[in-house]
Structure 1
Amino acid sequence: MASAFLLSLLLLVICSHGGIAQANEAAAGHKESRYVVVPKAAFQSSEESCSTSRVSSPQSGRVSVPLAHRYGPCAPLQTKDELSLAQRLHRDRVRTKYITRRMSRSTRRQSSDASTVSVPTRLGSSYDSQKYLVTVGLGTPAVPQTLVLTTESDLSWVQCKPCNSSNCYPQKLPPFDPSRSSTYTAIPCDSQECRDLAAGIGGNGCTSNWECGFYIYYGSGANTTGVYSSDALTLGPGAVVENFHFGCGHDQEGPFGNEGKYDGVLALGRLPESLVGQTLAEHGGAFSLCLPPTGDSTGFLAFGAPENTSDFVFTPLLTMDDQPWFYQLMLTGISVGGQRLDIPAAVFREGMILASSTTITALQDTAYAALRTAFRSAMAEYPLAPPTAQLDTCYNLTGYNNVTVPTVSLTFRGGATVDLDASSGLLLDGCLAFWNTDGDEYTGLIGSLNQRTIEVLYDLPASRVGFRTGAC
């Protein structure tokens, strides 16, 4: 357990897939429990093939779907990211700032602030940085759909026929054809389901066929419009969600075409429109995500709570009355090299959003400054490199075969302490994968990179989130 790590400084948990070796105390000059030695290759991208030996799965008895990084060799659709690292970080930064300001109480009170005037719908505010894919079946007979996964949106959608080249972006397989599914139904615009969608700022009235229309606008400027629909969703053998509500998109505009040839989005947010909300009876409102350490291995999306949660540490799930759709936690402390940083509790008062679709973790300014100082001190033997975009703690690791990295742990309300994976959850291309929020008054955000190899259990009925380290 992660909490056991802080109670005993005699043990070091090592993930077999990460290639981490125990630090030699004489060589590193520090206790083994506070530092780990990581081969430099673990920080570099050399993902030429998918390693099936590294495929993990959750505990038995749960419905599980393999999950892969969008641009890695394990992805079901082989696409290439044409953006540079600086461009990707810029987009990640813009999206993070939008979310953290939107969730901050101080910003929401400033109704005249220009940043609060134009906002994407709550059903689809997270598009730009989504990174992980799953494949499910839609319709009867089931047609494979490769979808981008997000916990920050609530309405799932796929591209549907009719959809010509000017209205739909290219994808590997033809768009979903509702006419070929015996279980497809367009939801009527005078139905309660359509009224509920409109209340969620996702409906846009009736179509010419008296069908319920939907519209999703993303912060990137991309948008999708079509018919709110129902069909069978197959998650795995014998695991079918009947009457799954989703958007059948007939008109997609904006930068979708630059993002890869996937078929749509699978939304796992907290509102009733999400897949989680629609499977309360089957899976009890609980699901897990385990993001793989690299693109050449897979993680998993699992539905239902595990029977045995003894390996998890839990923290309460927060809910903001006026913005209940994000998963939000209360961070209470950060440790570097086993030492708790001196950060006033008030710094974390705005909470942290747990995000699967945004890469870098954003900390309140005071917390980030403390982390940066401690991390730089612990890494003083390595030369600093120029910043990469907004990442300002970068290292030149040329000539080093191994890198001695301090452990970094996050502690949440209730005492749940999570040790970030040293080989995959701290550095991005040699840079510390944290940045600041531009103020202590803003909500923070825990990005996907820090979550790698950790099974994150979203337990909505119990209003808690659990963490199990070394899970994938």
Structure 2
Amino acid sequence: MASPLLLSILLCFNLSTVHGAGNGSFVTVPSSSFEPETVCSGAIVKPEQNGSTVYVPLVHRHGPCAPSLSTNTPSFAVMFRRSHARLNYIVSGATRGMETYGDGKKVSVPAHLGTSVNSLEYVAKVSFGTPALPQIVVIDTGSDLSWLQCKPCSSGQCSPQKDPLFDPSHSSTYSAVPCLSDECKKLTADAYGSGCTNGKPCGFAISYADVTSTVGTYSKNKLTLAPGTIVKNFYFGCGHSKSSVRHLFDGLLGLGRLSESLGAQYGGGGFSYCLPAVNSKPGFLALGARRNPSGFVFTPMGRVPGQPTFSTVTLSGITVGGKKLDLRPSAFSGGMIVDSGTVVTGLQSTAYRALRSAFRKAMEAYRLVPHGDLDTCYNLTGYKNVVVPKIAMTFSGGATINLDVPNGILVNGCLAFAESGQDGSTGVLGNVNQRTFEVLFNTSASKFGFRAKAC
């Protein structure tokens, strides 16, 4: 049996050989950096100030800076399973829905992504009505229509939440949208309407991929995003019945591309966000025009045929540990939806397998362990430091982002990528890879921006 000294020498030799010591393509990080913080360490960091941009603190639902939404934080296995189901739903382009009744006729409501499989991760605190009532809402780039749970709501018809249900009768600025209004017609055209009866308020209904749903009155009210920043007539759904969504948040802010989204209603569609690397401090959601933003790299923004809510980027290359993977452009031809609610990134088959092979080779000093939903996970117990290869993603037009190490690459010891489908299918850029970047959605110019080390 080899002596401990010999084993130590062999391990050091292996690390220096595999990781190319000194070439800057690998980063040595303390193993403690993989663990979430337990104390909220600071206030929101605002990147730049101008009169047309508002910044809303953005926190992880289960981090120390979040409001107390739930007493039971889901395990990583459960979170990955939900994220994988959400990823599968996105790339499948599946459509199914619910049936409601309006004017005595059955109405079919297509399923939207939204809270599908409960994998949404980030929340913000905003206020609705006059007087302003604080509400905790999840943010979602995979949904357009924003909604709250509202009174009246019969026992068992609405889900438990930390804050009191929003009561529209107590808000002097609230009004229901009329049934025959242009806004109601647009809602129906965008597949969020639930039927309409003349003389009654406009109804909305959303059915999600996991068979959850919310139904109620399409409404408008004052939305306070931050002190002194108000959307006077913000259109949203006031839900009086909600099924099977039981995570104690109060509602949802949709950040998709359709006119019902928050981005479209405030600032004409442009917004950005920054998801922090660890859960110890807030990131931010920035709404409104950004005049000549500096520090960004830009890439064209695409769309998904038949799914107008989503925005896409197109990869042109991936680098692991300083070596560019040998991949043809066809490996990325389906594009990637940029999604705030999916945890791990879904890559097309050829690209994912090449990335996995290169990453495993670079991490061969560490023991692979089975996980179930993810296939490249490591047991890092007992290591004071871990050597992690850098991963860079290059998009069409040449924009390159170097993922944060380790929190933008590994989550709970697992590579934050999964296989999403065959070449030519649509992939998903998940929120782990987006950490620490300000991700700018400039829908008017049809481009994405990425600014490194923004939060």
Fold conserved between structures, TM > 0.5: yes
What is the CA deviation profile of residues 69-101 of structure 1, one whole-angstrom value per residue up to 9, with x for unaligned ones? 001110123424443322222221111111112
- State the match for 1:92 in structure 2: 83
Matches within 5 A, 1:194-209: 194-206=184-196
- State the match for 2:181 in structure 1: 191
- State the match for 1:449 in structure 2: 432
Supply the distance in 2 between the matched residues of 1:207 and 1:144 (Cα, whole angstroms). Answer: 32
Is the partner of 1:418 in helix, strand or coil?
A: strand
- State the match for 1:334 in structure 2: 318
Query: Structure 2: which 5+ residue stretches go unaligned?
Result: 1-14, 99-108
- State the match for 1:58 in structure 2: 47
What is the CA deviation profile of residues 202-240 of structure 1, one whole-angstrom value per residue up to 9, with x for unaligned ones? 101236960100000111111000000000111112211
What is the CA deviation profile of residues 35-61 of structure 1, one whole-angstrom value per residue up to 9, with x for unaligned ones? 11111111123x3211116x4223112
TM-score (normalised: structure 1): 0.87
Paired letter, 1:292: P
Matches within 5 A, 1:417-428: 417-428=400-411
- State the match for 2:254 in structure 1: 267
Question: Does residue 368 of structure 2 align to residue 381 of structure 1?
Answer: no
Is the partner of 1:369 in helix, strand or coil?
A: helix
Contact 1:64–1:300 (CA under 8 A) maintained in structure 2: yes
Shift of 1:141: 1.4
Supply the distance in 1 between the matched residues of 2:202 and 2:268 (Cα, whole angstroms). Answer: 28
Supply the distance in 1 between the matched residues of 2:369 and 2:30 (Cα, whole angstroms). Answer: 19
- State the match for 1:288 in structure 2: 272
Shift of 1:126: 4.1
Supply the distance in 1 between the matched residues of 2:290 and 2:198 (Cα, whole angstroms). Answer: 46
- State the match for 1:325 in structure 2: 309
- State the match for 2:241 in structure 1: 251
Question: Does residue 216 of structure 2 align to residue 226 of structure 1?
Answer: yes
Contact 2:130–2:171 (CA under 8 A) maintained in structure 1: yes
- State the match for 1:175 in structure 2: 165
Is the partner of 1:353 in helix, strand or coil?
A: strand
- State the match for 2:12 in structure 1: none
Supply the distance in 2 between the matched residues of 1:165 and 1:49 (Cα, whole angstroms). Answer: 36
Question: Does residue 263 of structure 2 align to residue 276 of structure 1?
Answer: yes
- State the match for 2:454 in structure 1: 471
TM-score (normalised: structure 2): 0.90
Is the partner of 1:204 in helix, strand or coil?
A: coil
Matches within 5 A, 1:6-405: 29-45=20-36, 47-52=37-42, 55-61=44-50, 62-102=53-93, 116=95, 121=110, 124-127=113-116, 128-206=118-196, 210-254=200-244, 256-257=245-246, 259=247, 261-279=248-266, 283-386=267-370, 388-405=371-388
Is the partner of 2:398 in helix, strand or coil?
A: coil
Is the partner of 2:241 in helix, strand or coil?
A: strand
Shift of 1:436: 0.2
Matches within 5 A, 1:426-437: 426-437=409-420
Contact 2:421–2:427 (CA under 8 A) maintained in structure 1: no
Corresponding residue pairs, total:
428
- State the match for 1:108 in structure 2: none
Paired letter, 1:139: G
Is the partner of 2:223 in helix, strand or coil?
A: strand
Taking a change above 3 Å as real, the CA distance of residues 378 and 357 of structure 1, as seen in their structure-2 partners, is same
Shift of 1:33: 2.0
Which has the larger displacement, 26-35 or 129-138? 26-35
Is the partner of 1:97 in helix, strand or coil?
A: helix
Taking a change above 3 Å as real, the CA distance of residues 121 and 49 of structure 1, as seen in their structure-2 partners, is farther
What is the CA deviation profile of residues 447-467 of structure 1, one whole-angstrom value per residue up to 9, with x for unaligned ones? 011111110011111110000
Shift of 1:368: 0.5
Supply the distance in 2 between the matched residues of 1:28 and 1:132 (Cα, whole angstroms). Answer: 34
What is the CA deviation profile of residues 97-144 of structure 1, one whole-angstrom value per residue up to 9, with x for unaligned ones? 111121xxxxxxxxxxxx556698465544321010101111111111
Paired letter, 2:299: T
Contact 1:411–1:417 (CA under 8 A) maintained in structure 2: yes
Supply the distance in 2 between the matched residues of 1:363 and 1:411 (Cα, whole angstroms). Answer: 14
**Aligned residues: percent identity?**
49
Supply the distance in 1 between the matched residues of 2:309 and 2:68 (Cα, whole angstroms). Answer: 29
**RMSD over equivalenced CA pairs, Å:** 2.0
Shift of 1:25: 7.8
Supply the distance in 1 between the matched residues of 2:168 and 2:96 (Cα, whole angstroms). Answer: 37
Taking a change above 3 Å as real, the CA distance of residues 190 and 27 of structure 1, as seen in their structure-2 partners, is closer
